[in-house]
Amino acid sequence: MTNAPVSTAAKVSVFDPAGLGPLRLPNRLVMAPLTRNRATADGVPTPLMATYYAQRATAGLIIAEASTPNAVGQTYPNITAIHRPDHVAGWRLVTDAVRAAGGRMFLQLQHGGRVGHPDTSGLVPVAPSPVALPETLHTPSGKQQAPVPREMGLDDIEEHIADFASAARRAIEAGFEGVEIHSANGHLLHQFLAQNTNRRTDAYGGPVDNRVRFVAEVVQAVAEEIGPERVGLRVSPGNMVNGIVEGDTEEIYPALVAALADSGIAYLHVVHADPDQPVFQRIRKEWPGTLIGNPVLPQDRLPEDGGLAASERLLAAGADLIALGRPFLANPDLVHRLRTGAPVNQVRDAYMMYVGGATGYTDYPTLAELPGVE
């Protein structure tokens, strides 16, 4: 089965099946990776996480939350990791539970780069250039100002590329179908892409062809390790989260697409994909494989339709699969609710997204569990 994009000549629904590499997805709704901070302090996934993901196994694909490929890549407390045997064992509990419930999972690999603190990881963060995050960070001892990261040397770059490949191999050992490499939202790979965080003058800085090099080399190494059909890449064009200013968005992403066009990877995942934006239109035109689109939804409240209209519009604009975050967070049975037009749960308390325990995590009711619903 190829990774060629699905034709949009006929109207496609989010409820239609789709192919993704060797996988056959029962629908086109993807659960987006959502940081939930429910791992142990040293990054081991917990049994509660297995319950959470198994509850949402009707998604066509689940992309599990960001997991760090090495210790220095840790962003915040209680973030999952995938660089030790106990991380693999913890994730195996999760993938076994999801598979038993009929689901499929990829694992997102995320390195925070300058979005990190020694009080959290025990290490000084690294980045393409010694430019500090202009914000405070959550640490085990409270909010602290982000430190100036150590600039990565060429040896560091080689080691990190190898760490991503090793993490991908461990993810497969943990039972995942594949991995998504996180090159979005102001984290390490995105920092290499952006002008304000990449001030290097070597082969990894300056012109866009140099600034996309690290991302392309990470993707290549991971694809060689586990097979390109098991690899996805997430990007967020124009997203200024975590102090990122790309500077030349309209040039970066066509260059990155060109560098990866022949890689054969399973998909490219675009965050906050807007069908009206030229950068999305150009990515869709030039990317030869499957495109996952994450539609723009209101931040304060989920749409009454759970994002269905925005999802269908994005499909019509050329996306092949649709990634939804908060709708899946608050609705374990989101696929059923969207299919039947049922009301959706709202996210009850954004604070509870990032604290430990079952509250705001595994206690969102399915439609069948609501009073008066048969």
The CATH H-level (homologous superfamily) assignment of domain 18-369 is Aldolase class I (3.20.20.70)
Q: What is the pLDDT of residue 355?
A: 86
- 189, 183 in Cβ contact below 8 A? yes
pTM check: above 0.75: yes
Distance CA 332, CA 59 (A): 9
Q: What is the pLDDT of residue 5?
A: 47
Distances, alpha carbon 64 to alpha carbons 237, 294, 325, in Å:
21, 15, 11
At position 23, the amino acid (one-letter code) is: L
Does an H or E element contain 20, and which? strand 18-20
Distance CA 275, CA 285 (A): 12
Q: What is the pLDDT of residues 31-68, one digit of tens each?
A: 999 999 999 999 999 999 999 999 999 999 999 999 99
- How many CB atoms within 10 Å of residue 286? 12
Give residue 360's region: left, alpha or beta (phi > 0; psi -120 to 50): left
Q: What is the pLDDT of residues 88-111, one digit of tens each?
A: 999 999 999 999 999 999 999 999
Q: What is the pLDDT of residues 280-335, one digit of tens each?
A: 999 999 999 999 999 999 988 999 999 999 999 999 999 999 999 999 999 999 99
- 228, 266 in Cβ contact below 8 A? yes
Q: What is the pLDDT of residues 121-142, one digit of tens each?
A: 999 999 999 999 999 999 999 9
Q: What are phi and psi of 358, to 5 degrees?
A: -80, -25
Distance CA 280, CA 258 (A): 15
Q: Which of 270, 318, 320 is nearest to 295 (CA)?
A: 270
Distance CA 308, CA 163 (A): 38
Distance CA 100, CA 112 (A): 32
Tell whether the model's pLDDT for residue 7 goes beyond 90.
no
